[in-house]
Amino acid sequence: MKILVAVKRVIDYNVQIRVKEDNSGVVTDNVKMSTNPPDDNAIEEAVKIKEAGKATEVVAVSIGEEKAQETVRKALAVGADRGILVKTEGVVEPLSVSKLLQKIVEKEKPDLVFMGKQAIDDDCNQTGQMLSALLNWPQATFASKIEIKDGKLEVTREIDEGLETIEINVPAIVTCDLRLNEPRYASLPNIMKAKKKPIEQLNASDLGVDISPRIEQIKVEEPPKRKAGIKVSSVSELVQKLKNEAKVI
């Protein structure tokens, strides 16, 4: 079985983002970038399945600017066998990403495609579902547990009401929740080894997909600031304020 894992390069989750002064977007220059956190879970799960002898190859793919190569390289350092980078410029909407991934899937013919449930930059939560629609494959979103059972996957999904279990035929798309596993850190020897693993580079235009945006971003603004609060000196003052001023208890 072959697993394709899609990874996205995003601003690190520990960075306080800043809105550009001209409101055209968010400052990304000289900002620490990392792999989108749930994409780390997706890679980890694929590598674990391979280590358990149930997969033969894990391929990491990223769609983004040249520097997204670092994100692919990181996936290689934690156990992916080889990488693919589809180079794009500017904003690529999830619909376009899923169309590009569809082309990669047609070429690579994986049995499973894993990715994070959502990217923490645009917070769209669309790509996996869109890819599975385009391929007409089953989808298991927000996965917190995956079991492989003769040609099928039993997946536990995190839903608002609790947990849901579904069984899907392979080939399939799985989008991963943070609860799926604990991603490993890359060891230094593995980081060195990853430098020798191949990364195939393609241009989005080579794949014959129209990726022009359908959504115009008019402006990006800071969220409304909270007005400054007060410090209370005692618990009884706090309770009185909550009861009489804020009226929330």
Contacting residue, 1, 33, 178, 202, with another protein by CB under 8 A: 178
Give the residue carrying structure tokens 């020897």: 189
Closest CA to 133 of 74, 163, 92, 175: 175
Q: Which stretch binds another protein (CB under 8 A): 67-75, 134-142, 191-199, 201-209?
A: 134-142
Q: Which stretch binds another protein (CB under 8 A): 66-74, 78-86, 106-114, 138-146?
A: 138-146
Query: Applying CB under 8 A, does 98 fall inside the site for another protein?
Result: yes
Contacting residue, 34, 35, 71, 127, with another protein by CB under 8 A: 127
Site residues for another protein, 47-86, by CB under 8 A, read none
Contacting residue, 26, 31, 109, 205, with another protein by CB under 8 A: 26
Q: How far is the CB of 242 from another protein (least distance, A)?
A: 7
Q: Which stretch binds another protein (CB under 8 A): 43-51, 65-73, 74-82, 91-99?
A: 91-99
Contacting residue, 69, 154, 191, 197, with another protein by CB under 8 A: 154
Amino acid at 69: Q
The DSSP call for residue 244 is I
Site residues for another protein, 105-124, by CB under 8 A, read 120-124
Query: Applying CB under 8 A, does 168 fall inside the site for another protein?
Result: yes
Report the C-alpha gap between 220 and 102 in whole angstroms.
30
Q: Dihedral through CA 172, CA 84, CA 131, CA 169, nearest 10?
A: -10
Report the C-alpha gap between 237 and 52 in whole angstroms.
58
Determine the angle formed by the axes of helices 127-135 and 94-108, rounding to 10 degrees.
50
Q: How far is the CB of 201 from another protein (least distance, A)?
A: 26
- DSSP for 79-113, please give it: T-SEEEEEE--S---HHHHHHHHHHHHHHH--SEE
Report the C-alpha gap between 157 and 140 in whole angstroms.
7
Residue 58 or 175 with smaller CB distance to another protein = 175
Residue 4 or 131 with smaller CB distance to another protein = 131
